[in-house]
Structure 1
Amino acid sequence: MSDFLRPRRFAWLGLPSLLAGLGLAACDAAWAQAQDPLVSTPAQIKLGIEKVQLPGDEKMGLVGTTYLVDVGHGFHVGPAAYGAISGQRGGLFTVGVEGGWQRRLAGPLALDLGFYAGGGGGGAAPVGGGLMLRPHADLLWDFGPFLAGLSWSQVRFANGDINSRQLGLVWSARSDFRFVPSDRVGERSAMGGRSGMGFDRLHAVFGAYEPRPGARRNSGGELASTIAFVGTRVERALGDHVYWGLEAGGAASGGVAGYAEYLGTLGTETTVWPGVLTLGGRVALGMGGGGDVGVGGGLLMKAGVYGTLRLTRELGLTLEGGYTRAPQGSFRALHTAASLNWILDDPSDITAPARSIRSEWVGGVERYPAQRNDGSRRMLQAVTLKANRFVTRHVYLSGQAHSAYGGGAGGYTAGLFGAGVQFPVFGPVHAGAEALIGAAGGGGVATQGGAIMQPGAYVGVDLGRSLSLRVGAGKIKSLRAKGLDANVVDVALAFTFGIAGHGNR
């Protein structure tokens, strides 16, 4: 059994401590029955696939993934991402927000109406500034734990040449979004199992691809240089040895700025030295492309083996080696990666004090004058999605995705992670600052290989119990000379909540 997947501390405490822990848990449950701050609302994880028509009668397979939270009266809202998976436009991605309304028609038959808006592009597709709009109507059959059916949608890039109407397939799994309101974060709770989006482990990944002979660029040249990449991966246990997860990454060097990937992963692992060493393997399937990498339609596959050395009970260092390929294109590469992994909610540990950890979802827009590869400097507008998790009362870790929707930079995307601090100022006003690094490229923006940094600061004001408005300013800069270097302004809405965990004690 893996250290990550096994119940925590049982082997150390023995039967007497286990029984004591169960007794305390029973007492806490009785206390919390009337006072537990936990709130649970329905949620769904949605997956769709459709074939979009581009100019010139070109076809492109498009996959969408969405996480939707019920906000009452049949309405739901959440983050979403869409990307090419077949055709000739591998590397086309967009990220944004989707909202919808669902109603049961008769028996197990239901109707879902929704609208997505996001930014991105890539794959040399005619996306203009990058703003993608997708209204849809889904006819679903309720199978109990999930719904499945047909979808009618329109995919339109507002400033580009793509405007397609099509039928597709959609599948939606039911879940729960369990959280603590922001004004009760830190209180004791008898919450059992997972909360938030339900992931157990987070990786910050640094790696490299070594292209194999025959790997080529879309433009026809040989792809021979080493590609450094950065990314993140989140994972959730399915049993004693098996887990699933999601990963995203992008090129930071290697002359392929704009290359990005987004995959689902399935893995297995076991502990060979308790508390010290874990060995495992995993496979992943998803979308990749951009940066003049020959991925064909965008389908990407990878497999790897790894070892994890535990540094502390919550932190570990993972080293992985494996093979990545794009079956519809020429891209083939050996990959190596190192990641710092952090065990998050640890829902199986019933002996630790059950506290809620403050978390935030932040969505907004930013604007700055971006240096372009053609030497010009023009204003760029991008949509931003951020996830913040506090490790102390005032310090948090952040993972972010930024994608252009205006300014003639369709296809520009940045993935960033780093740390921030946040403090109350007076009354409903708070202030914060953060320092981020990551990878960016595409859209003709001069990121000089892809590696960037983005420090900034913001001021926020509470609009209600968990919602706040924030205005910020900062700087975005390529880590190489003569690249992107601009002052940034942004505005965002932040949703603050608590999730189960044992870190912020």
Structure 2
Amino acid sequence: MTRDDAPRAQRRLRTLLAGLGMASSGLAWAQQSDPSTTEPLVILPAQVRLGIEKVKLPGDESMGLVGTSYLVNIGRGLSVGPAAYGAISGRRGGLFTLGAEAAWRQKLGGPLALDVGLYVGGGGGGAAPVGGGLMLRPHADLTWDFGPYRAGVSLSQVRFPTGQIDSRQIGLVWSAATDFRYVERDRIGTPMSISGRSGMGFDRAQAVFGVYRPRPSATRNSGGPLASTIGFVGMRLERAIDDHAYWGIEAAGAASGGVGGYAEYLATAGTETTVWSDVLTVGGRVAVGMGGGGDVNVGGGLLMKGGLYGTLRLTRSLGLSLEGGATRAPQGSFKALHAAASLNWILDDPSDFSAPDRTVRTDWVAGVERYDAARRDGSVRALQAVTLKVNRFVSHHLYLSGQAHSAAGGGAGGYTAGMFGFGVQAPLGARWHAGAEALIGAAGGGGVDSQGGAIAQPMAYVGFNLNPSLALRLGAGRIKSLKGALNSRVVDLTLAFTFGVAGHGYR
């Protein structure tokens, strides 16, 4: 990145944060738009979107790019939400970005509609020329309404302003309609009867710790053998279809094995059955999505896995799962057997109607962070990253947190971190609050010296409530690689949207 590029990237990061603020304010406005309502739930239309397109890179190289987003309609046709994009074919497996997207829909007549929007995020990988990692994707989609879903064509531009990628293309887009249902913050904790899912609608979450044992044919992109065992950590979110089948999403990154920067983002589906009531469940699942980075040869990035598992239920809400299976990248040489243990946390229990009705506080947090990152070339340079966080409270003050961080400036395109841990928060008067977090996870890529991938990040923050649902937070802490040279003070600025979700059965 040149000297002139740095201030431009910083301005774009400030623009992103301001946009997230306006989006969160709009969501807060949407919940307050009818103050006379007595219903416990606020219900906003939402959509899950999937798109695929072929992007041109320098040298007439082609790369298949897949995008996923979850967009909530905040009024007047405008929708906002988190999004992620990644390589699925070509030679850039491991390229991922994450960020925020906004889209506006205008009906053209009958089932035809025009969607225009903008995605802003950070990331990179796959040795793609992404510069600092900031990605912009303006788009216009022409879609047809098929009832439960919409499908159509998309005209878009994929641009990394501090890199060498600037491509215009036509792609395909598909979306499914859903609802974002939540309880206003000032009603959290009030007993109420709620039917149906709330929030994003996931029924359980899993913190995953596992290992890959590569097969003898697996190689690195550089040509050498991939012989060492790879340790990984990740998160999985799942939603029931019926008493046995479910679907979900999962993300993981390398924490050991000399492949720091390897990451994967997959959709999963499976089936399970109880063989010992309230004690033991067995099942199987398959997953497909994107993976790569860390000098692992995955070809274009397509990744597939399958596994069998058993879950021992420890309490009403917690279980311990053990899984074994196989993973492969069909376009590359990566093949491995995997084993994993996960702590399974049931968010909404469909079979337990004896527990009292309750609501649980949840925070969506988005913003930017900055720290001086040690690089593998021996230098130390400033790094700016986009941050997305989800906090779910287990008591009035204690919460669990899952977070994703991805570089958007500082010449570290491709650097990504995934972390989870716990936090505490307490009010400081009527409008102020303070909190602290302890996080562990995996990070790598972008030339950052996070050898092995395992990192820890303690943080403390102070927040100011802009309104009952929206807060501005300033945080400080430290990020440290457990084996690499990365060890720096961190400062972050975020916006937090607070709402309540059902903590009881949904059917």
**Structure 2 length as normaliser, TM-score?**
0.92
Distance 2:330 2:468 in 1: 49
The alpha carbon displacement at 1:193 in A equals: 1.3
The alpha carbon displacement at 1:240 in A equals: 1.5
Q: Runs of 5+ in structure 2 lacking a partner?
A: 1-35
Aligned to 2:467: 464
**Structure 1 residue aligned with 2:348, among 335, 341, 345?**
345
Distance 1:345 1:306 in 2: 21
> In structure 1, the residue corresponding to 2:186 is in which secondary structure?
helix
Aligned to 1:501: 503
Matched, 1:366 2:369: yes
Kept in 2, the 8 Å contact 1:50–1:62? The answer is yes
Distance 2:477 2:37 in 1: 45
Kept in 2, the 8 Å contact 1:51–1:168? The answer is yes
The alpha carbon displacement at 1:350 in A equals: 3.8
Q: Runs of 5+ in structure 1 lacking a partner?
A: 1-32
Aligned to 1:403: 406
The alpha carbon displacement at 1:34 in A equals: 7.6
> In structure 2, the residue corresponding to 1:361 is in which secondary structure?
strand
The alpha carbon displacement at 1:349 in A equals: 3.8
Amino acid in structure 1 at the alignment position of 2:328: R
Matched, 1:70 2:73: yes
The alpha carbon displacement at 1:353 in A equals: 1.7
Amino acid in structure 1 at the alignment position of 2:182: F
**Structure 2 residue aligned with 1:484, among 477, 483, 486?**
486
The 1:386–1:48 alpha-carbon spacing in structure 2 relative to 1, beyond 3 Å, is same
Kept in 2, the 8 Å contact 1:131–1:157? The answer is yes
Aligned to 1:7: none
Kept in 2, the 8 Å contact 1:145–1:173? The answer is yes
> In structure 2, the residue corresponding to 1:454 is in which secondary structure?
strand
**Structure 2 residue aligned with 1:87, among 76, 85, 90?**
90
Distance 2:228 2:39 in 1: 56
**Structure 1 length as normaliser, TM-score?**
0.92
**Percent pairwise identity:** 73
> In structure 2, the residue corresponding to 1:409 is in which secondary structure?
coil
**Structure 2 residue aligned with 1:285, among 284, 288, 299?**
288
Distance 1:474 1:415 in 2: 16
Kept in 1, the 8 Å contact 2:260–2:445? The answer is yes
Amino acid in structure 1 at the alignment position of 2:232: F
Distance 1:263 1:54 in 2: 24
> In structure 1, the residue corresponding to 2:183 is in which secondary structure?
strand
Distance 1:426 1:116 in 2: 37
Matched, 1:208 2:211: yes
**Structure 1 residue aligned with 2:196, among 168, 189, 193?**
193
Kept in 1, the 8 Å contact 2:350–2:504? The answer is no
Distance 1:375 1:88 in 2: 28
Deviations 1:86-120 (A, max 9, x none): 00000000000000101111000011000000000
Aligned to 1:21: none
1:44-123 map, 5 Å: 44-123=47-126
> In structure 2, the residue corresponding to 1:71 is in which secondary structure?
strand
**Structure 1 residue aligned with 2:449, among 446, 451, 463?**
446
Distance 1:260 1:462 in 2: 35
Distance 2:480 2:84 in 1: 25
Kept in 1, the 8 Å contact 2:247–2:267? The answer is yes
The alpha carbon displacement at 1:354 in A equals: 1.5
Aligned to 1:217: 220
Aligned to 1:235: 238
Amino acid in structure 2 at the alignment position of 1:489: V
1:17-36 map, 5 Å: 35-36=38-39
Matched, 1:394 2:393: no
The alpha carbon displacement at 1:168 in A equals: 0.4
Distance 2:158 2:197 in 1: 35
Kept in 1, the 8 Å contact 2:470–2:498? The answer is yes
Aligned to 2:152: 149
